[in-house]
């Protein structure tokens, strides 16, 4: 059986990381049996120092993209085999939009907006394994992690912009998704594909999480078709 190592649920979303959600959603869509192990403690054994990763038949695979590729090569491509080459190209482009741009907008909203500081402390630094540490060490780790996130955002490029500019960038991503989805149940029509798992990972962490407050969340809620897609997907695979 496949073992998925991830952080853990956030409200009604199966994980606080869009990448962990993507992998779990894909397995549910493809009907792959699996078990989960949650917690930041698994970062210590993660092959690339990040979650998610999986173990399957003695193999350990890291990075959500490589995990999905492994599933396709090992268990068949039941989700994307119906797509044309053009649709697969579009899926690749939207994957980059979601995972290399909109993801960082989510990170910025959670980690750098002052209105989310208290909730971040509760969700990220309220874990039992963290609380058990001595207070000075907790303070040092908390400061170091926040500085690392800030540095990552700056290196990626998004962190060099103002809060307002970052919201505008994220809204353009949402608009592109909404315009392509239109009134279709899934991004490529009536049949779901792996792109839907990827989109759900990001959109669920925006639309189905109420503990964080950010302009990008308010913007996302104005796109009725994105909200409907997120609820539809959630009810079908996680309801």
Q: What is the pLDDT of residues 141-163, one digit of tens each?
A: 989 999 999 999 999 999 999 99
Q: Measured between alpha carbons, how far is 84 from 101 in angstroms, rounded to an integer?
A: 25
Q: Read off the tokens for 50.
A: 């990040």
Confidence (pLDDT) at 220: 98
DSSP one-letter code for 196: H
Mean pLDDT of the region 25-36: 99
Instruction: Return all residues near 92 (Cβ < 8 A) that are at least 6 apart.
Output: none
Percentage of the chain surpassing pLDDT 90? 90
Q: Which domains does the chain have, with CATH numbers?
A: 2-75 (3.40.30.10), 85-237 (1.20.1050.10)
Give the distance between the most distant pair of CA atoms in the chain. Answer: 56
pLDDT at 127 over 80: no
pLDDT in tens, 181-204: 999 999 999 999 999 999 999 999
Average pLDDT over residues 22-34: 99
If one counts every other C-beta atom within 10 angstroms of the C-beta of residue 223, the result is 20
Q: What is the pLDDT of residues 86-113, one digit of tens each?
A: 999 999 999 999 999 999 999 999 999 9
Task: Give the model's pLDDT for residue 39.
Answer: 92
Residue 129 in this model has a pLDDT that exceeds 80 = no
Kindly list the strands in the beta sheet with 34-38, ordered across the sheet, starting from the edge strand earlier in the chain. 34-38, 2-6, 53-56, 59-62
Q: What percentage of the chain exceeds 70 in pLDDT?
A: 100
Mean confidence (pLDDT) of the chain:
96
């Amino acid at each position: 059986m496949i073992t998925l190592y991830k952080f853990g649920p956030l409200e009604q979303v199966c994980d606080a990381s869009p990448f962990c959600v993507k992998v779990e959603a894909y397995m549910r869509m493809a009907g792959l049996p699996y078990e989960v192990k949650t917690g930041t403690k698994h970062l210590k054994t993660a092959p690339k120092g990040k979650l998610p990763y999986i173990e399957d038949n003695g193999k350990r695979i890291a990075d959500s993209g490589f995990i999905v590729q492994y599933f396709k090569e090992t268990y068949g491509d039941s989700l994307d085999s119906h797509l044309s080459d053009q649709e697969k190209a579009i899926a690749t482009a939207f994957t980059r939009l979601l995972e290399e741009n909109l993801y960082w907008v989510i990170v910025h909203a959670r980690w750098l907006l002052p209105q989310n500081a208290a909730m971040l402390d509760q969700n990220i630094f309220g874990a039992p394994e963290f609380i058990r540490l001595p207070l000075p060490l907790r303070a040092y780790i908390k400061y170091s992690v926040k500085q690392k996130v800030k540095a990552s955002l700056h290196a990626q490029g998004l962190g060099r912009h103002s809060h307002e500019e970052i919201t505008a960038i994220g809204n353009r991503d949402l608009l592109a998704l909404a315009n392509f989805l239109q009134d279709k149940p899934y991004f490529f029509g009536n049949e779901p594909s792996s792109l839907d798992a990827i989109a759900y990972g990001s959109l669920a962490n925006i639309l189905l999480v109420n503990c964080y407050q950010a302009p990008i969340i308010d913007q996302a809620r104005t796109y009725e078709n994105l909200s409907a897609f997120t609820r539809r997907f959630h009810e079908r695979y996680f309801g």
